[in-house]
A and B are shown apart, each in its own frame.
Chain A
Amino acid sequence: MTWTIARKEMASNLTSYKFVIVLLLTVLLTATSFFIMHRDFRQRTADFQITRPKPGEPIALLPPNPMAVFAKGLDDAMTRSFEIGVVGITVRAGQSSGNIIYSFFPSPDFLYVVRVVLSLVALLFGFDQVSRERERGTLQLILGSPISRARVLFGKWLGNFLSLSVPFLLTTLLGIAFLLFDPNVRFSTGQLGRLTLILGLSLLYLSFFLILGILISTLTRRSASSIVVLLFIWTLLVFIIPNLGTLLARQFVSVPSVRALSEKRQQTWTREVLLGTKSRDWASHYKAISDDNDRMEEDYRGKFERLVRLSRDINRVSPAAGFLDAASEIAGTGIGEESRLKREVIRYKNSIIGDIIANRATSNKNEEYPAFRYVPRSLAEIFAQGALFDTAWLVFFNIICFALAYWAFARYDVR
């Protein structure tokens, strides 16, 4: 019986104007996003070929992550060239794009499409599920047959979820197939597994918004008011809470700004070099610079990680933020991965800085250093460090909304 309801939902969706619009949005956006982000990835790969360090150079540089096509996240920051010298780690300038307009608007990757646009689409599927049937009088007819309200609700969810996820999955799979044809984009089997996880997470996320829509439509008598409430909840969850949350976290954790750190560093090294030109004891001055920088870095990393933790905890009120965090961590472009990469770069620097200083002090030009190796976190680590919580949180949101929807629907006056 549930299946009959689901089929009825799908059939009525298929013929509706709403479905045409939604289908258009999904297909258009997913395809454009794949195309554009793929191009972006190829360009960055070409840049990587140019900057790739020669053997023996003390440079830490990662190739662009193909998963960035789906979740761009912090991949730009992670694929910078970190060069180790006597004064510590410097970033080679010129790796950012010259087009300032990029920094005005977020990049339209797959995650953006799902998180912002498709969540709205899921709401549009759910917003009039109960109120419209009541307005038309068909709800009375359905409930007139011997079927429980729970089954009706579940059938509605299933039918709409399928009519939403089938076109979504189809276009996404087509997009992935398109990527697989490009020899430059090489996914490992592990990454394909991660992609499946991201898709699963996306479905869970979309399902949440669908149920939320059904829930609000059972709480309001008219579909016109249901859509108003839903649109506002949507802006709150998708935009306002995550973006205000980080701002709120900054009020509680004071983190020195990037500028302050860089000024401090400049002061340290110019001071030590000035003193060095007098004493000629370069090794000890280089050491002083490196120690000072290390102290500052240690302090900053600690504070920054506290800020990230706090803002994550605040943002988790919104499933959109949790979804973004979990999916980008799984893709390997999230904040956690970026912090870890930086820690690894610092460790790499610590392992060779002694040699660099010694070679510099004796003007040895033919030094060679071990290459930088970075192994991204395994899925188990990623899940242990928050993604599992985020996923469970999404499941919880789904269940709680479903329970509330059931509770509201059971008490619903169908007249």
Chain B
Amino acid sequence: MTATATPLADGRAPSGVVPPLGPVPRVKQPTAAERILPTALRVLAVRRPGVPLVEVRLRVPFGGTAPNHSARATLLGETMLTGTERHDQVGLAAALQSLGADLRVSVDADRLTLDGNVLRTGLPDLLALVTEVLTEATYPAREVAGERERLVERLSIARSQPSVLVGEALNRRLYGDHPYARELPTVDAVRAVTPPQLRRLHAERVRPPDAVLVLVGDLSPARTLDTVQAALDAWTGQGADRRVPPLPPVTPGPIVLVDRPGSVQASIRLGGRAVPRDAPDYPALQLANLVYGGYFSSRLVENIREDKGYTYGPHSRISHGAAGSTLVIDADVATEVAAPALLESWYELGRMATKPVKPEELEDVRQYAIGTLALSIATQSGLASTLAALLGLGLGLDWLREHPRRLAAVTVEDAFAAAQRYLAPSGLVTVVLGKASGLEPALRTLGPVELG
């Protein structure tokens, strides 16, 4: 049962007065069931009927430190669905489509991700196809060769995007030799990957221990666990060591300027260390980051977009990986205002780290964080992705249920302490990508610059 807005007697708002909020609606907790299968796969099934679909998320730890790991892992993701013992690429795609299903595989620095969705009635057949892929993927030579060339071309397209280029520069600056700095493989490393290497990588690493499978949708949780167990019991084996080493400390230094001669904008990125979702000071950091630049009503948006018109959209985000959490601030601005935009971004960081936020600012972001958490899990797809991300990092439904309470408890002092720890501009690295000749003189007036 939920409460709705309480209208005034005649349903009319007094002229010119913004209506107050009604009583806070209670979020109904979905029914769920969880089981660790004998194969050590952790499965969570959650009922959210909405529409007659089921969303499926599989996460398999897939980190690696070998220099060619990223190339092999990325190509494995691109070719996993190109053939099994029973289906060729087209046959598999047609079988999925006839269930109303979609299935996609990708690999990042932490994990292999298999995401799908299916009309409710097709779930058992989809699980059978997923098991077939996990246990019988063949990596046929012709398909691997084709996908390898496509991956090379897609990498060249990716690396022509300023957002990708500046992201890679920031990652090198933040992560040094850590695998997170080379998530996107090089073309040469991709060209060197062979089908036998993919088959071996699959055999070693695509294994159930520490993997998580989340299913959300129009389903019965307990029965779905049985269906999953029956379908996936053929997927067995021990996983190789797939841990990711911890992140190196962030070492602040000069502004890194990366030249992109044809740029008509400067892509500014600031980065620093953050903390995982289960750290005691995470809720305070989450709220402090929102006040700074984490939502539209933030200080940074108000300053460099709504007041000065320097940028379409600055953002400040916390991203969570298995090896650690990172704060990234981004703004793409006209070349001639890059230095003032960077100065304002630092100024707002400095303000966060030297003066407590106002109580009303904290209330605004608290309501935003609690409300948007509820919105993000009000859909099948959103709930499935959120839970898969949480389970993949060792958290679960409990974290989701408890987090609003943690957000409610954050004080102005907590938020100030977190801002001092994580938002101080002296602790962050700065990378700017753009037309270096037009940027360097102005950036040098703000501090030392090195070309990256």
Q: Do A and B bind each other?
A: no
